[in-house]
Structure 1
């Protein structure tokens, strides 16, 4: 009976050779049926079947069963076509792999810490961020808890609620607050330097400051600077120096 699906010449091995996995039908081989491995189908040993033959034309093993023919090429196993199986042509994306357990744990901890940071914001910021009502209630309750164990459990509950919230708007809000605080700190240090310079140099420093702030009152600056000098020399509280700093800050506003 001819082998279906093969147009080349073939020869069937003896039954004893087939059982042992050997055949002399391939003149170019040592007589041992090769073992091919495919990651999808595992290992297949030619000859360990009901009947087998070596196709000289296409140089492949044909394994015959009751209702199917398997053709074996090096590193490839061709199975009978099944119309009910649909192939997935979607290319594999290594970026779609599931995150590891450690990464999921770190993400959960980061979300919980972000939720705890919300306690430091006024409720007006909560409304600006449009937080869910359930999370707002949990944050309010956490502010009134004094027991360490209860606070820890409440923080865990807040972290659980944070899993269903997009953290990026909250992080962006905190970044805006940090930048605002950074600019305020820089302005504060700059005014402190101007205050110390005006007290130490008087008129030269006042002239330099007026070049940047023409609206400043020269006479008022001079009076505050001289009073601050006397207070420093007499070891009194620096009331004039504080008044000078407040005046400089008002000019910057």
Structure 2
């Protein structure tokens, strides 16, 4: 009788399974490309920011220089610079960058929301007059009631005469100043 060699690698019992297979993580080529595209989009967002907003993002000097260069370049050179920025981002921790961008976007969204609320309040003041005044005084007790009444009166006259809404803009500006002073 011929004795066959024992082949442990065919046996899948728990004691013969090694942990080496658990350490290898296979990443598909498509996933790598998706990640690279995501980083290029992040780089494009950075390039789209203005100087003041860019100052609030934690960038190292090399990356900041690359972003500022991309802001100055046009057409094909810009596309290549965006690819370079995406490549640079691959070797960096991008979580702080994403958090800072999200914070900037959130502040912008809050400001837009505040402006919409102030516009709605201004419209109610013009439509309802003194009936809407308690809402303003509740929000801002130090608001100048006489000034608001004069602006509301002027805004109603402008609406009736189909004139430009100068007083309505002044009401909005006054409400915005009150909100910012708070």
So what's the TM-score if we normalise by structure 1? 0.63
1:105/1:123 CA distance change after superposition, 3 Å: same
Match for residue 135 of structure 1 among 63, 69, 72:
63
TM-aligned CA deviation for residue 208 of structure 1: 2.6
Match for residue 108 of structure 1 among 5, 11, 36:
36
Gap runs ≥5 in structure 2 = none
TM-aligned CA deviation for residue 121 of structure 1: 2.5
Q: Map residues 157-168 of structure 1 onto 2, 5 A cutoff.
A: 157-168=84-95
Q: Map residues 223-234 of structure 1 onto 2, 5 A cutoff.
A: 223-234=150-161
1:234/1:92 CA distance change after superposition, 3 Å: same
Where does residue 73 of structure 2 map in the other structure?
Answer: 145
TM-aligned CA deviation for residue 133 of structure 1: 2.3
**1:205 correspondence with 2:143:** no
For this pair of structures, how many residues does the alignment match?
176
Distance 2:77 2:7 in 1: 66
Distance 2:145 2:82 in 1: 55
Distance 1:205 1:233 in 2: 20
Q: What is the aligned-residue RMSD (CA, Å)?
A: 2.5
Q: Which has the higher strand share?
A: 1
Distance 2:7 2:78 in 1: 66
Greater length-normalized contact order (CA 8 Å, ≥ 6 residues apart): 2
Q: Which has the higher helix share?
A: 2
**1:191 correspondence with 2:108:** no
Larger Rg: 1
**1:246 correspondence with 2:177:** no
TM-aligned CA deviation for residue 193 of structure 1: 0.9
C-alpha contact (below 8 Å) 2:57/2:101 kept by paired residues: no
Distance 1:118 1:213 in 2: 38
TM-aligned CA deviation for residue 183 of structure 1: 1.1
So what's the TM-score if we normalise by structure 2? 0.85
Gap runs ≥5 in structure 1 = 1-12, 14-51, 53-61, 64-69, 78-86
1:196/1:71 CA distance change after superposition, 3 Å: closer
